[in-house]
Structure 1
Amino acid sequence: MSDPQLALLMLGLFIFLVFLGFPIAFTLMAMGIGFGYYAYFDPNRMWRSYNRLDELASSWDSFSLWIDGFFSNTVFDLFINQTYTVMANEVLTAVPLFLFMGYIVERANIVDRLFSTLNIASKNMPGSMGVAALITCALFATATGIVGAVVTLMGLLALPAMLNARYDKSFASGIICAGGTLGILIPPSIMLIVYAAASGVSIVRLYAGALLPGLILVGLYLAYIVGRSILQPSAAPRPTRDEVPDVPFMRLTFMILTSFLPLAFLILAVLGSILFGLATPTEAAAIGALGGILLAIGYRALTFQRLRESVYLTVRTTAMVCWLFVGSYIFSSVFSYLGGEQVISEFVRGLDLTPLQFLLLAQLIIFLLGWPLEWSEIIIIFVPIFLPLLEMFGIDPLFFGILVALNLQTSFLTPPMAMSAYYLKGIAPPDVKLTDIFKGVLPFLLMVFLAMAVVYVIPQSVYYLPEVFYGR
């Protein structure tokens, strides 16, 4: 078997093991080291150690020499160097800080106040409770970036209120599931940080480029909610005074000042400091983490137990991301050394694709990968396979990254593996069936595809803000 064939076997075996349920990070490392041992095997280097066995009298010395001979392989040096490189990556330093900000904000009891305020403020709009739920999801998802936490918390808070207000079960479920995924697209997104580390694209340009597409997607969601509420009033009845009471203007203003503005100010302060060059993403993430603590203190929600939980969850998630990077780097290095990337490049070149056809093929593959895999695994493992091909088709990695970020919304919304639907089903009332949730997310899935089409047709929606802030 030739080296390129061995590389393809390595990739196929990895995918097979992932579908069997093996931990992805450790599978990557095991596959990389296993195949890398063969790829970098140097018999002269190993036998130089073994030839000294006759000189040794002690069996322990002989055993130690056997061990040294076994580990005298370049793949172990590669593994150590890649581990150190990942842990010293300054871009990834922002990940634990943004995660901590999200976990501490999640525990600050902000969401219930925010949803109540927006529900009262928008009560005269068609589908007012749905609009309030989506905006709350968008703000909370942007602040946390943790899809499961947003969907679960909003499912406990907003879904019962919408069902009590006689909203259609699938419509209400779809709003929460779609809104909860927005945090992986709208800055400050952890996904974009991971993509920047994997691709070498400037994180500040990615943040600027993702802002307008994120707002376009939110606008399409809102347009669908309001439009359906007008065309099908039974799906989203107008609230009664008992459901949403009248509140004096001054009291409503105070509610907005104490619920909406603090969280919005925190997000804008973090994002603005990055976009205007006042702070690096890592420094801005530190500001956000401190701001999250101050918000929790201000809302009298900071306890030692919540602080400990936030730190624990931050460390656990950060470790998962870092070890995924380590495994991906060792896997991709061995895969490339065996000639796997060259095989894929020659295969794609032989297809004689246009740039549009390549983009459609790449996005289709990422869409399908979103069924069994999390976004972090797709970005760290599979997106780097496409990156060397972008130059061949004249595609900007910045533009490609924004399309991927939009596409990854679908990984949480596409039945039968829509994870946001399963998050919601876990805490929804018994009469809300999984099929109801699947039915509700499908229109929002179409909105994602429409947003991707808009971005492709109007590429300035990606490039406008990066050019305004940083030039061409």
Structure 2
Amino acid sequence: MIELAPLLLFALIFILILAGFPVAFTLGGLSVLFGLIFLEPDAFYLLALRLYGTMTNYVLLAVPLFIYMGIMLEKSGLAENLLETMALLFGRFRGGLALSVVLVGAMLAASTGIVGATVITMGLISLPVMLKRGYSPELATGTIASAGTLGQIIPPSVVLVLLGDVLGVSVGDLFSAALLPGLLLVGVYVLYIIVVAQLRPHAAPPMPPEDIAAFRQGNMIQQIVKAFLLPFLLIAAVLGSIFAGVASPTEAAGVGALGATLLTLVQGRFRWSILKEVTRETTHLTCMVFIILAGAAAFTFVFRFLGGDRYLTELIENANLSPYAFLLLVMIAVFVAGFFIDFIEIIFIVVPVVAPIFARMEMDLVWIGILLALNLQTSFLSPPFGFSLFYLKGVAPPEVTTGHLYRGIVPFVIIQLVFLFLVALFPQLLGI
């Protein structure tokens, strides 16, 4: 019976989470219950040390700082200024408004890394404008949802911070490896929109000439500098300090949090009420992440103490699975799991189980981390349960139906899957 206990634990956790039980308490509660049944009481002393080590992990300090930075930037009006300015710059081109949404999504991803905040902000600002300008609902919703999830892969990404901790690799290495794939993915999105705008001109019309003329006759240069300079300075401060080796990701997150606060101050949006709201939301999200992390620490401890990782390794070896066949199996499992549960839960439930097996197979864990991040990003978009679709539907006008969302996102999901396959085939895209 004890040989099957870790697999039973894993299966029960998935079943209860899909049934709607709270993730953190399901992970921690079931794991402790199995520990009480199958382990010696002294083992719980080691579990307490594991939890203490998790909560004092210096790398994970970056999580609340990046969350704070993302929420503060959401309140600063930065996204609104960027979208308005870039839309007018690209306005004379067919699909120019959609192109501006993708590029602003990439810049917000490099500034915040918070997917929900980015999708909601861009949905509120750009979706009504795109519909008013005659864009097809499918192209408008697909562009916004996919651009909003770029924060999953473009550094600084909370996903990469958590993956780095679970995989036991440097977060800085993950950031460096993710930069080129993230930028290439932006380029592929842009290319797709240009092709659609040429093949279906009615789906992506240019902006009215009078709007562009009014923009050019006004303080165009001043507006461009104001819209682009401040976010570029923040991106340079956060990512530049990491890539230059001046600061660790955690220290750079502190710089980003301070920079986002100063940006909000410069924009004239800083208020005591704003600071109070930002700190409350940051505390809420941080507590959610860390309580799940505590439950996940209990799960991985009990699972490994019961020999679950050894059992899985032997099972894979007996099945004669090659490293790449096992990788494919894991990627399919993560993709399917992404339909039903959040990326944080996948990182803390699935990745700790498979990471030791990847390490034993001598596979590059940085490469594995990027593949997992791209996969999780794809699951955020995939109908019927993609979280980005729910975020966008929540702020979309009544005339935008769920069918519009699903039809609009399918081409972007296909692009993501093809891109994931290419990164798996050509690790040199990561510079490793």
Give the TM-score of the pair, scaled to structure 1: 0.89
Pairing 1:185-204 to 2, within 5 Å after superposition? 185-204=153-172
Give the Cα–Cα distance (whole angstroms) in 2 for the partners of residues 247 and 109 of structure 1: 19
Structure 2: how far apart are the matches of 1:152 and 1:102?
Answer: 12
CA contact 2:114–2:157 (8 Å) conserved in 1: no
Question: Cα–Cα, structure 1 residues 273 and 249, in superposed 2: closer, same or farther, change >3 Å?
Answer: farther
SS at match of 1:207: helix
Task: State whether residues 137 and 180 of structure 1, in contact with CA within 8 Å, keep that contact through their aligned partners in structure 2.
Answer: yes
In the aligned structure 1, how far is the partner of 2:168 from the partner of 2:47?
21
Secondary structure in 2 matching 1:86: helix
Q: Match for residue 399 of structure 1? A: 367
1-structure distance, mates of 2:213, 2:388: 31
- Inter-partner Cα distance in structure 1 for 2:213 and 2:113: 32
Output one character per residue of 1:392-440: Cα deviation in whole Å (capped at 9) or x when no partner.
Answer: 4331000000011111111211111011111111111111100110110
From 375, 378, 382, the counterpart of 2:343: 375
Task: Give how far 1:319 is off.
Answer: 1.5
The equivalent residue for 1:468 is: none
CA contact (8 A) 1:29 1:328 kept: yes
- Structure 2 unaligned residues grouped into runs of 5+: none
The 3 A distance-change label for structure 1 pair 411 and 297 is same
Cα deviation code 1:183-236 (max 9, x no counterpart): 111001111111111111011111100000101111111111111101111110
The answer as to whether partners of 2:76 and 2:270 remain within 8 angstroms in 1 is: yes
**Could you tell which deviates more after superposition, 155-164 or 135-144?**
135-144
Aligned-pair RMSD on alpha carbons? 1.5
Matched, 1:311 2:310: no
Paired residue secondary structure (1:300): coil
Q: Secondary structure at the match of 2:273?
A: helix
Q: CA deviation at 1:244?
A: 4.1
- Say if 2:15 is the partner of 1:7: no
Query: What amino acid is the match of 1:100?
Result: Y
CA distance in structure 1 between the partners assigned to 2:202 and 2:102 by the alignment:
19
Matches within 5 A, 1:139-178: 139-178=107-146
Mapped partners of 1:235, 1:75: distance in 2: 62
User: Any stretches of 5+ residues in structure 1 without a counterpart?
Assistant: 42-72, 465-472
2:333, 2:252 → 1: CA distance?
34
Q: Deviations over 1:237-286 (max 9, x none)?
A: 12212454443388322112101221122012100101111111111111
- Equivalents in 2 of 1:165, 1:74: separation in Å? 67
Q: CA deviation at 1:75?
A: 4.4
The answer as to 2:231 corresponding to 1:263 is yes
Tell me the equivalent position of 1:20. 19
How many residues align? The count is 432
Supply the distance in 2 between the matched residues of 1:435 and 1:244 (Cα, whole angstroms): 33
Cα distance in 1 for partners of 2:324, 2:220 equals 49
Residue 101 of structure 1: aligned partner = 69
The alpha carbon displacement at 1:76 in A equals 3.6
The aligned counterpart of 2:184 is 216
For the structure 1 residues 403 and 249, does the alpha-carbon distance in structure 2 shift closer, same or farther, using more than 3 Å as the test? farther
Which secondary structure state, in structure 2, belongs to the residue aligned with residue 3 of structure 1?
Answer: coil
What corresponds to 2:30 in structure 1? Answer: 31
Which one has a bigger Cα radius of gyration?
1
CA contact (8 A) 1:122 1:129 kept: yes
**Aligned with 1:436: secondary structure?**
helix
In the alignment, the residues of structure 2 paired with residue 305 and residue 264 of structure 1 have an alpha-carbon distance, to the nearest angstrom, of 27
Contact 2:47 2:301 in 1 (8 A): no
Indicate conservation of the 8 Å contact 1:33/1:75, yes or no: no
C-alpha spacing 1:280/1:249, structure 2 compared with 1 (3 Å): farther
Cα pair 2:109 2:155 within 8 Å, conserved: no
Partners in 1 of 2:362 and 2:383 — Cα distance?
Answer: 33
Matched, 1:117 2:85: yes
Sort the Cα spacing of 1:241 and 1:125 in 2 relative to 1 into closer, same or farther, 3 A.
closer
Give the aligned partner of residue 238 of structure 1. 206
**Aligned partners of 1:323 and 1:82: how far apart in 2?**
14
In 2 relative to 1, CA 94–249 (structure 1 residues): closer, same or farther, beyond 3 Å? farther
Contact 2:130 2:140 (8 Å CA) reproduced? yes
> For 1:249 and 1:354, how far apart are their aligned partners in 2?
63
Question: In the TM superposition, what is the alpha-carbon distance from 1:88 to its structure 2 partner?
Answer: 0.6
Stretches of 4+ moved more than 6 A in 1? none
**Alpha-carbon deviation of 1:80?**
2.3
Residue 435 of structure 1: aligned partner: 403
Q: 1:245 to 1:380 in 2, by over 3 A?
A: farther
Do the aligned partners of residues 267 and 113 (structure 1) sit closer, same or farther apart at CA in structure 2, a change above 3 Å counting?
same
- What code does the residue aligned with 1:402 have? I
- Is residue 216–residue 451 contact of structure 1 (8 Å, CA) maintained in 2? no
Kindly indicate whether the alpha-carbon contact (under 8 Å) linking 1:119 and 1:244 is maintained by their aligned counterparts in 2. Answer: no
**Could you say if the C-alpha distance between residues 392 and 280 of structure 1 is closer, same or farther in structure 2, counting changes exceeding 3 Å?**
closer
1:38-117 paired onto structure 2 within 5 Å: 38-41=37-40, 73-117=41-85
Q: Give the counterpart letter for 1:227 in structure 2.
A: V
One-letter amino acid of the structure 2 residue matched with residue 31 of structure 1: L
